Structure 1
Amino acid sequence: MDHTDVDNVKPTEECHEVHNVDESKRLVGQLYSRDQAWYFYKGFAREHGFSARRGTTRLNVEGNVKTQEFCCSKEGFQVSKVNIIDRQRAHTPVTRTARLESAVSKADIDEAIALKEVGVGTSQVMNYLTQQAGDYHNVGFTHKDLYNAFQRGKAKEIIDGNVNTLIAYFDNKKHDDPGFFMTYSVDESGALHNLNWSDSTLRSDYTCFDDVIAFDTTYKDNLYGRPIMPIVGVNHHHNTIVFATSIIADETSQSFEWVLQNVLEAMINKSPISVVTDGNRAMQRAIKYVIPYAKHRLCSWNLSRNVQANIGDPKFTTTFLKMCESMNASLAIALKHKKTYLDVVRAIEDGISRMRMNDLKANYLSSQTKPFQITKLVDLESHAVEIYTCESFRAFQEELQRETLYRIQEEIQSLSDECQNYILPKYKEKNRTFEISFDSRTKTLNCSYTKFETVRLPCRHQLQVLKHLDYTYLPESLIQSRWTKDTKASAPSFVDLNMPPEVMQIARFVALRATSSRLCYFASKTDAFFKPARYEMKRLTEEFENSFGLNDSVNRSSVVNNV
């Protein structure tokens, strides 16, 4: 440390005007040489009634001065006690540091970006650069400087056309898939604010499995730190499926409302029965405003704490926990260290492609294999094997096994001859009873357990009554198409002439996709199958394109834009 008295140093000609305090405001924020900075601070000290001295000097690896501190001459020394009676406020030393140069050099930022691209965090990058320089003081910039440099790089990428590239990518998607849906909003400066997209396959899936949807905003591992919100559900194989994806500016009620409104628009304004979220209050307000009649449930730990107590069915909790956790795990891996919006979109598309391949495999297994039957109710099991997918049958089978824990204790005849009520206590828990009402005319069974209303599969109590009534099959009232093998092929025909054309188109698309999925699966097995299948599909595609006049570029553009 250099404690030279300020009055013993003479100013140089180069900086004789710098210590003029009247001009101090004009000089704030400028870069100084060490001498200029010293005389400026000395004048500042004299003007404010204290003396100054040189503080800590830091050198770089070549031995040159990197930073120099100037401070009050009393800084660091103990102050004598003040008389309690005549107390005066002690002088508080004011320290000013003149930074020679703290900007991150291009070489440093290039090296830092290279490390970031392979997954190294900002703190780790700073530690690495510190080790390379030999000491933290030799680096020449702080952790905050490095962070700001990264942020400026993000902004520059947006300015350079990242968003325009993404919109062009989606335009091409629309060209290849007329059912592709995309919408976005911009802020006052014209920057991307919110974005939502869904392809025709995702939209058709929604028509089959729209009873329950789930979403949260867990994923922010992208260049812009934007929340990524996939809207997901569960299909008839009990696998997670994606209906749409949104990238939003923030987690406010306005952003969530924007997402819900545009998702409903993509899905022909067909609202879900239930919405599962992570408990975000802003999201709850948006749900109540946009889809007020939907039941709002919580997932993750909120789901296990609240819904299980309310519904009384652990399977409900488990199903949606698995759904949220599966999507979390898939996206966490797929989106790790993705750089641009386009990177994020492609990563999500890759994940959806893997889900679709799993769906094809599950379709094949359900159609070509039969699960083992393990109860003595052979007829009921056989019927369930024929109609349910493998995973849905296993869930049914678990309930069928548990029906033996119950017995009919009492039959109560209602005023109507067609209706009968049954009281079922549980084995060794006689105080725990359930009531079933059976209508012989409509063959409907309503249970106080309400599992069927929640999960849409017959419960153990309903199955006990069917056994009591000697049923050898499941009545139609207990079969929900969303868990059956033919759920996609049995999509609504929409014979109502008042139904919008776009709804009818999606319904036809669902039926065609279900019919062709097995063809695609088998054709992809070998090259011998693949070539003729592709040839026939291309031939039909060209034939249909000609019928729409899509070979003409003008007509093609018109048709695409009008879909």
Structure 2
Amino acid sequence: MAKLSIYLDRENSIWKVRKVILEHNHELTLRVMVNMIPKFRQMSDAAKAHIDDMHGYGVPTSKILGYMARIAGGYSLLGFMKKEAYNYIDKMRRSKIVDGDSNAAVVYLEGKAAVNPMAMARYNLTEDGMLANMFWVDGISRVDYQYFGDIVAFDSIYKKNEYNRPLVIFSSSNNHKKTTIFGFGLVLNETIASYTWMLENLSKVMCNKALSVVVTNGDDAMIAAMKKVFPKTTHRLCAWHLQKNVTSNGREQCFMRYSLSGYMRTWRLTNLSSNGLSC
């Protein structure tokens, strides 16, 4: 293996060569293969500009690379790999989202908060600058929470937005038995970390008001986050999800005999008998 050893002559303050071995015990990398070595693999500013221009006109990435390869004399002479070009385009697309829709949403919500001091918006970013989680609430919702926020439904089953992000809704019932919304949120993913961030911000925005009961759809990550943020709060499952689970996993004939009132009456009798009680 080729080797060059040097040392510093401190007396004369110059570098000197101690040992030189010019012989190689293997063939040198061919010029056309140098771009495969990570240290030498990079996209030039000219290549990036070329890709940006053609991609801006709607040219597919595969055709862009094919065209650039013909100019360079082959894919091996591009100076970078196909994967790096696709990663670069994906990174640019993500940055446009950061500066586009998500930035517009943040500016809009912060503008609302500037007009209404009771309105609040919270968000955080990923390591590469993408919008991770967002939570927002208006003044009326914050007031309602103080009156009707003892029991809160914590739901995130909706993914109807363009980016397929889980939409979190905090809701309950008011004194007129009408649904009241306490806040909304968009989470990056359905993980304990995302839900914990959402619940922590809900608690801060709502002046750390203690919850008596949190109702969820039974998602493990939601339950774990709830126990972490509100350890003294009771957890309950949503009746709608229970009914859906029972009807989808049970035989239809089992439910045809009962009306809702009849089912509830049988349920109560079953609970009473199991506890050794009578009506």
Structure 1: how far apart are the matches of 2:35 and 2:60?
29
Gapped runs of 5+ residues in structure 1? 1-21, 29-102, 110-147, 308-313, 319-424, 426-430, 434-563
TM-score (norm 1): 0.29
Q: 1:175 aligns with which of 114, 117, 124?
A: 114
Is 1:192 the counterpart of 2:38? The answer is: no
Q: 1:213 aligns with which of 141, 149, 152?
A: 152
Residue pair 2:95, 2:129 contacting (<8 A) in 1 also: no
- Which amino acid in 1 is paired with 2:142? R
- Which amino acid in 1 is paired with 2:109? F
Q: Which residue of 2 aligns with 1:406?
A: none
Residue pair 2:98, 2:131 contacting (<8 A) in 1 also: no
Alignment of 1:392-431 (within 5 A): none
Q: 1:106 aligns with which of 45, 55, 58?
A: 58
1:65-102 Cα distance to aligned partner (Å, 9 max, x none): xxxxxxxxxxxxxxxxxxxxxxxxxxxxxxxxxxxxxx
- Which amino acid in 2 is paired with 1:207? Q
Alignment of 1:147-296 (within 5 A): 155-296=94-235
Structure holding more strand per residue: 2
TM-score (norm 2): 0.55
Residue pair 2:141, 2:182 contacting (<8 A) in 1 also: yes
Q: Which has the larger radius of gyration?
A: 1
Q: Which residue of 2 aligns with 1:432?
A: 278
1:229-272 Cα distance to aligned partner (Å, 9 max, x none): 01111122322221011111111111111111110111111122
Q: Are residues 27 and 226 of structure 1, via their aligned partners in 2, closer, same or farther at CA, if it must alter by over 3 Å?
A: same
1:368-418 Cα distance to aligned partner (Å, 9 max, x none): xxxxxxxxxxxxxxxxxxxxxxxxxxxxxxxxxxxxxxxxxxxxxxxxxxx
SS at match of 1:164: helix
Residue pair 1:209, 1:234 contacting (<8 A) in 2 also: yes
SS at match of 2:134: strand
SS at match of 1:189: coil
Q: Are residues 159 and 258 of structure 1, via their aligned partners in 2, closer, same or farther at CA, if it must alter by over 3 Å?
A: closer
Q: Which residue of 1 aligns with 2:12?
A: none
Structure 1: how far apart are the matches of 2:126 and 2:180?
31
Residue pair 1:154, 1:224 contacting (<8 A) in 2 also: no
Residue pair 1:212, 1:233 contacting (<8 A) in 2 also: yes
Q: Are residues 290 and 300 of structure 1, via their aligned partners in 2, closer, same or farther at CA, if it must alter by over 3 Å?
A: same
Residue pair 1:231, 1:244 contacting (<8 A) in 2 also: yes
Q: Are residues 296 and 151 of structure 1, via their aligned partners in 2, closer, same or farther at CA, if it must alter by over 3 Å?
A: farther
Structure 1 residue 153, shift from structure 2 partner: 8.1
Structure 2: how far apart are the matches of 1:196 and 1:255?
11
Structure 1 residue 211, shift from structure 2 partner: 2.1
Residue pair 1:297, 1:303 contacting (<8 A) in 2 also: no
Q: Are residues 297 and 306 of structure 1, via their aligned partners in 2, closer, same or farther at CA, if it must alter by over 3 Å?
A: farther
Residue pair 2:215, 2:235 contacting (<8 A) in 1 also: yes
Kindly tell me the number of residue pairs found equivalent between the two proteins: 184
Structure 1 residue 184, shift from structure 2 partner: 1.4
Q: Are residues 190 and 160 of structure 1, via their aligned partners in 2, closer, same or farther at CA, if it must alter by over 3 Å?
A: closer
- Which amino acid in 2 is paired with 1:106? G
User: What is the alpha-carbon root mean square deviation over aligned residues?
Assistant: 3.8
